[in-house]
Amino acid sequence: MRLGVLDVGSNTVHLLVVDAHPGARPLPAYSHKAELRLAELLDASGAISASGVDLLVRTVAEAMRVAEDKGVEDVLPFATSAVREAANGEEVLARVERETGVRLTVLAGADEARLTFLAVRRWFGWSAGRLLVLDIGGGSLEIGYGMDEYPAAAVSLPLGAGRLTAGRLPGDPPAAEDVRALRKHVRAEIGRCVAEFTRLGRPDHAVGTSKTFRQLARIAGAARSADGLYVQRTLRRGALEEWVPRLATMTAARRATLPGVSEGRARQLLAGALVAEAAMDLFEVPVLEICPWALREGVILRKLDVMSSS
């Protein structure tokens, strides 16, 4: 069957169309996305601005038209931290449903971590052993750890690259004191939860998912996306530590010229790099392997599991 996942994230609204059935890996058939950067469209009260809501409604409606055109039988719509934590989140959800007919399921942060972990486990298999999974989104950082298909420990922290950029790095390039303050803040937030994971033992395999990790790996020398899904891509902590001070002195326009960095994500790259560096350091991870599957694939896999058990 043809399924669609509509992901209203903190950076993009992304419709992923896959051909899937229980027992088989989902095959991507079409991808439609629009960069809204909702995490950066909050007003002083923490609400998504009126113009942002207008844009979201139009974007969801367009995504549903695309889903129909592509022959999608079932769309799985969900929203993550930007809508979940917005002061007017309930009003936004009600308006989206009223004007588009789409009822967005709002995922809790821990559920984001669990579903991402499921996708990573299915990608690498049981032979990967104990997994530590890091996912930097626009609004939050998800961390999962465990031996099974769902993590034994999972947390979501308000350390998304878009959120931190909008709230803490106003300059272009940012002021050195702002970068230092953000570095301190990020490390304190992650440091509070490290013990919850380290008490479970050292991971056998550390994995990074999300656009931020893919871009950081690419500028550090990993293979291009055009080389295919099955090429191994890694990010070394040493390479990341060399890149962070360089990124801090660059304008967004300069970062956008780096290999694999899109213009829309360039401004957020420094904040994402600071989060990635802190997580790898505090969890004592020398190398992360990059996984092409993440939250959207986890939502699809859970749907297929439910179908196969019914």
Q: What is the tens place of the pLDDT at every residue in 140-193?
A: 999 999 999 999 999 999 999 999 999 999 999 999 999 999 999 999 999 999
Angle at 131 between CA 247 and CA 139, to 5 degrees: 45
Q: Which fold has domain 109-295?
A: Nucleotidyltransferase; domain 5 (3.30.420)
Residue 158 CB contacts under 8 Å (≥ 6 apart), including other chains: 81, 85, 139, 140, 141, 189
At residue 307, the pLDDT reads 82
Is residue 32 scored above 90 in pLDDT? yes
d(C-alpha 98, C-alpha 95), whole Å? 5
Phi-psi region of 296 (alpha: psi -120 to 50; beta: other; left: phi over 0): alpha
The answer to whether the beta carbons of residues 155 and 146 sit under 8 Å apart is no
At residue 21, the pLDDT reads 86
Is residue 309 scored above 80 in pLDDT? no
109-295 matches 2-106 in CATH topology: yes
Over residues 43-72, mean pLDDT: 94
At residue 214, the pLDDT reads 97
Q: How far apart are the first and last CA of the chain?
A: 16
d(C-alpha 52, C-alpha 123), whole Å? 35
At residue 83, the pLDDT reads 94
Q: What is the tens place of the pLDDT at every residue in 66-99?
A: 999 999 999 999 999 999 999 999 999 999 999 9
Cis peptide before 173 (omega within 30 of 0): yes
Strand duo 74-79 + 2-8: pairing: parallel
Q: Which fold has domain 2-106?
A: Nucleotidyltransferase; domain 5 (3.30.420)
Q: What residue ranges do the domains of the chain occupy? A: 2-106, 109-295
Over residues 247-264, mean pLDDT: 96
Q: What is the tens place of the pLDDT at every residue in 183-234?
A: 999 999 999 999 999 999 999 999 999 999 999 999 999 999 999 989 999 9
d(C-alpha 140, C-alpha 127), whole Å? 29
Average pLDDT score over the chain: 95
CA atoms within 13 A of residue 210's CA, in its CB half-sphere: 31
Is residue 308 scored above 80 in pLDDT? no
Over residues 256-283, mean pLDDT: 96
At residue 144, the pLDDT reads 98
